[in-house]
Amino acid sequence: MIIYEEILRAFQKEKVKYILVGGIAVNLLGSLRSTADMDILLEMSDENLKKVVRILKANGYSVKQPVDPSGLADKEIREVLIRKKHLKAFNFHKKDGLSEVDIIVDTPVDYADAAKDRLYIKSGDITIPVISINNLIRMKKNTGRSIDRLDIEELKRIKRLRKRK
């Protein structure tokens, strides 16, 4: 069983256009990394966002920000939230405080870029679209977070090991 399995199953069933990024992606790419949230890139259409919001709400998630998540589909609204509110990710959480899903909105790698070389990783009967190592490194490069610097080193090590095989 994989963390957030119920969400991933629903995404697969509803054909949500998403790519897994962040700590869980680091794990699926071959590292051991402790993480509690699930970070995703989305194709930002109204239809796709509505599916995601419906799935998350049906699974007990609510939004932290006082903003309607469907507004993320509008590029102008999204850019205002990024520029004026410094929004990096739109957060959904469960009341238990342990489960969070972040829709990444401000990143050097958007959904279209990440989709070009995403990987598909099977976990049981779920097929999960995962960002490539190169694009994940690009996303993590300028965050200034120490965990991201460690992830980059680990991802580079994984790349070297894969080249040898």
CATH of the domain at 36: 3.30.460.40
Distance of CA 96 to the CA centre of its chain: 21
Mean pLDDT value across the chain: 89
Residue 115 belongs to a domain: yes
Residue 40 has pLDDT above 80, yes or no: yes
Residue 75 has pLDDT above 60, yes or no: yes
Q: What is the pLDDT of residue 8?
A: 96
Q: Structural domain tally of the chain?
A: 1
Q: In what order do the strands lie in the sheet with 89-94?
A: 61-63, 89-94, 100-104, 37-42, 18-21, 126-130, 119-123
Question: Which whole number is the average pLDDT over 140-156?
Answer: 92
pLDDT above 90 covers a percentage of the chain that reads 59
Residue 93 has pLDDT above 80, yes or no: yes
Using 50, 70 and 90 to split pLDDT, how confident is the model at 89? confident
Question: Which whole number is the average pLDDT over 2-20?
Answer: 94
Using 50, 70 and 90 to split pLDDT, how confident is the model at 19? very high
Q: What is the pLDDT of residue 97?
A: 67
Closest CA to 147 of 18, 42, 58, 39: 39
- The rounded distance, in Å, linking the Cα atoms of 2 and 8 is 9
- Indicate the pTM of the whole model: 0.89
Tokens of 17: 């256009």
Residue 149 belongs to a domain: no
List, as own/partner pairs, every contact residues 137-146 make where C-beta atoms lie below 8 angstroms and the sequence separation is at least 24, other chains included. Answer: 138/108, 138/109, 139/21, 139/104, 139/107, 139/108, 139/109, 141/108, 142/108
Instruction: Name the residue range of residue 122's domain.
Output: 5-132
